[in-house]
Structure 1
């Protein structure tokens, strides 16, 4: 599991490197329904937390 926090007041998009994207392919839990993982890009709502599995 990998826990990621967005401490900013804006939406953040993070491109995961190949190894991380291969190891963590899905969102197990998120504090905002707006947060998502697609194509190796993690998009997070402001002030949110995502748990990847």
Structure 2
């Protein structure tokens, strides 16, 4: 899954607002529960070539 940070957070390293990172399920759940992050799902890959 992954999370998108809502505010700066120290989780091994410093993550800033709007950064996206992946962790184990327990860590992601804790960050979401504590209000530091929200669930983030990577966008589907497009098969169209980049312009």
Q: TM-score, normalized by length of structure 1? A: 0.30
Q: TM-score, normalized by length of structure 2? A: 0.30
* Structure with more of its chain in strand, by fraction: 1
Larger Cα-atom Rg: 2
